[in-house]
Amino acid sequence: MGTRSLTVFNDSWEDEEIVVFYRQFDGYPAGHGRELLTILQDMNIVNGMNSDNMKLKIANGMDCLAAQVVADFKEGPGDFYLHKAGTRDVGEEYIYTLYTKNNKLQIKVEDTYEDEDTGKKGHELFNSNIEDYRKWINEEWT
């Protein structure tokens, strides 16, 4: 059985979910989280492309970033699927939420495990910018 995950893309202008990207296997932070970092590292989210920002690694909004992430991961049938915004409870063990704050790309990582003491489901494991995420992945998930 695989470690399933969801990657949620939030619209940077309206803070609404655009799409949910489902992964069937290797959804844990040392797998999907690290692969996601490879795509997101040095990524700039812009509102319109011009000759200045075309020199950077860019996505023209979060919907463009979502398409780029899907294109990087999807190689054939199976393994990865797109779901409508708001999709949850499809067997995921980890949820990665991408959003912007002060025009900088951010990522929140949560698990969906139940706490044995409290019975509460889900824990926020990380929530900050991509540079801090790189440090967290390298320190906690090597």
Q: Does the pLDDT value for residue 1 go beyond 80?
A: no
User: What value does the mean pLDDT take over residues 50-62?
Assistant: 85
Model pLDDT for residues 7-21, shown as the tens digit of each residue: 999 986 677 999 999
pLDDT digits (tens, 9 = 90+) for 57-94: 999 999 999 999 999 999 999 999 999 999 999 999 99
Averaged pLDDT for residues 28-53: 92
Beta bridge partners of 22: 6, 81
Q: Model-level pTM? A: 0.93
Say whether pLDDT at 139 is over 70: yes
- pLDDT greater than 90 at residue 141: no
Contact present, 22 and 81 (Cβ < 8 Å): yes
Give residue-wise pLDDT tens across range 22-33: 999 999 999 999
Supply the pLDDT for residue 9.
Answer: 97
Cβ-proximal residues to 133 (8 Å cutoff; 6+ apart), any chain:
37, 40, 107, 109, 126
pLDDT in tens, 80-132: 999 999 999 999 999 999 999 888 999 999 999 988 888 888 999 999 999 99
Alpha-carbon torsion (17, 113, 70, 46), positive or negative:
positive
Q: Is 71 helix (H, G, I), strand (E, B) or coil?
A: helix
Domain that residue 123 falls in: 5-140
How many domains, the chain? Answer: 1
User: DSSP characters for 80-93?
Assistant: EEEE-TT---SS-S
